[in-house]
Amino acid sequence: MGRINEHMSYARTRYRTLKAKFSVPFRRGVPDTDTVAPGVEMATQQNAVQTRRAEQDKQESRVRKASSKLGITVPPTAARRPETAPALERLSQLLSEED
């Protein structure tokens, strides 16, 4: 391995020297509006999906907390419904009023 590295060292050094001397300058691409418009639309839709998923996660978290306080299990499909969390909170209030 030492002999191989010794043999390749000249090529590596030569390549580094030439690379620094003849480096190709980088130029950013300039896209046209027909290319940019779909990208902007995709980003907008992606942000909407992420926001909707965050709201669903928040909703499911509220349902999980409320159901764990009551000691019941709520199926995942019911946890996604918007009326489940307020119903569980109301049930919790009714049960605490009875005590």
Q: Let me know if residue 60 belongs to a domain.
A: no
Residue 85 contacts residue 66 (beta carbons within 8 Å): yes
Give the global pTM: 0.57
Residue 90's domain comprises: 75-99
Q: Let me know if residue 40 belongs to a domain.
A: no
Distances (CA, A) of 48 to 36, 52, 59: 19, 6, 17
Angle (nearest 5°) at CA 71 between 67 and 72: 60
- Considering only residues 8 and 21, tell me which one the structure prediction assigns the higher pLDDT: 8
Q: Let me know if residue 87 belongs to a domain.
A: yes
Q: Number of folded domains in the chain?
A: 1
> Which pLDDT band, with edges at 50, 70 and 90, does 36 fall under?
very high
Q: Let me know if residue 86 belongs to a domain.
A: yes
Q: Let me know if residue 90 belongs to a domain.
A: yes
